[in-house]
Amino acid sequence: MFDLVVIGSGPGGYVAAIKGAQLGGKVAVVEGNKLGGCCLNVGCIPTKALVHAATTYLSAKEAHKFGVEIGEVKLNLAGVMAHKSNTVKRLVDGLEMLLKGNGVTVYRGWANVPAPGKVEVTYDDGSKEVLETKNIVLATGSTQQLPPVPKESLAHAISSDDALELDKVPERMLIIGGGVIAAEFACIWNAFGSKVDMVKRSPLILPPVDEEISHKRPFGHLRERDARRKRRESPRSRDEGRRTEGVPRRCDPHSHGESTVLRRYRPGGPRCRA
């Protein structure tokens, strides 16, 4: 009988498990995918490794401005990706040690809660095991959500997971969204040489941050690096009173030589065409 079974080993899950064990409990973690969850494998850590590589690359290219002569600066994308993968592996291995060191038992399978106090683990080979526990923490995180557009429109679209695994620098990239993840990928791939466009709902980049920061910091950086932005017009400017909360309805088709037009989003129907 466990004191605590934690389902999910992302930052939410592993911290709860380690704390539970440090408080003297008999603790297990059940993980159906990779240990460390989104953050360690396809989130914070790999993006930060790429951000660091991108910043280093840009600094090296601009070093002459500061009187530092480096010679020809070349991007080795395979090397960048190897650095990213090694960083992820080091941290995932470290987490495994940390869980072990704190006496947390790890079960590698998908968890289900068939009854209070029971966690059923299904392994890859289809076999099952039921763990008895006094407490359960659900730390199952989140999954990617596709925009509400016809599937055909997404044929050549990639997710943030895929954007961490590219083996060549795309000539152009259109990023749908303007939050932190979008801005981070825009900066990374633009630094590596892609022409980046962003399509977003809010007139601000990174809407939750201060307007001043939104206008000055990330945008300045993007502009400097030749990223371009496309802003959706004010939600009420044309369809006064018909705005559906949280649903983007129209994107401003500023064209920079070529145009990308997103048609109006219609609730309930096919939403958007690129």
- CB closer to ligand FAD out of 44 and 274: 44
Minimum CB separation of residue 122 from ligand FAD in Å reads 9
Region for 132 from its dihedrals, namely left if φ exceeds 0, alpha if ψ lies in -120 to 50, beta otherwise:
beta
Q: How many CA atoms lie within 13 A of 113 on its CB side?
A: 14
The only residue of 141, 177, 179, 253 in contact with ligand FAD, by rule CB under 6 A: 141
Q: Does 193 sit near ligand FAD (CB under 6 A)? A: no
Pattern of binders to ligand FAD over 149-168, x per CB under 6 A? Answer: -----------x--------
Query: Using an 8 Å Cβ cutoff, are 194 and 172 in contact?
Result: yes
Query: Using an 8 Å Cβ cutoff, are 186 and 50 in contact?
Result: no
The only residue of 139, 149, 191, 272 in contact with ligand FAD, by rule CB under 6 A: 139
Q: Does 106 sit near ligand FAD (CB under 6 A)? A: no
Q: Does 178 sit near ligand FAD (CB under 6 A)? A: no
The only residue of 3, 19, 26, 44 in contact with ligand FAD, by rule CB under 6 A: 44
Region for 264 from its dihedrals, namely left if φ exceeds 0, alpha if ψ lies in -120 to 50, beta otherwise:
beta
Q: Does 38 sit near ligand FAD (CB under 6 A)? A: yes
| SS3 of 75-131 | CCHHHHHHHHHHHHHHHHHHHHHHHHHCCCEEEECEEEEEECCEEEEECCCCCEEEE
Centre a 10 Å sphere on the Cβ of residue 23 and count the other Cβ atoms it contains. Answer: 10
Q: Does 235 sit near ligand FAD (CB under 6 A)? A: no
Q: Does 7 sit near ligand FAD (CB under 6 A)? A: yes
Residue with tokens 């289900």: 112
Q: What sign does the CA torsion over 254, 162, 222, 68 have?
A: negative
The only residue of 4, 6, 13, 189 in contact with ligand FAD, by rule CB under 6 A: 13
Q: What residue type is 169 in one-letter code?
A: V
Q: Does 142 sit near ligand FAD (CB under 6 A)? A: yes
Q: Does 43 sit near ligand FAD (CB under 6 A)? A: yes
Q: Which residues contribute to the site for ligand FAD (CB under 6 A)? A: 7-13, 30-33, 37-39, 42-44, 47, 110-111, 139-142, 160, 181
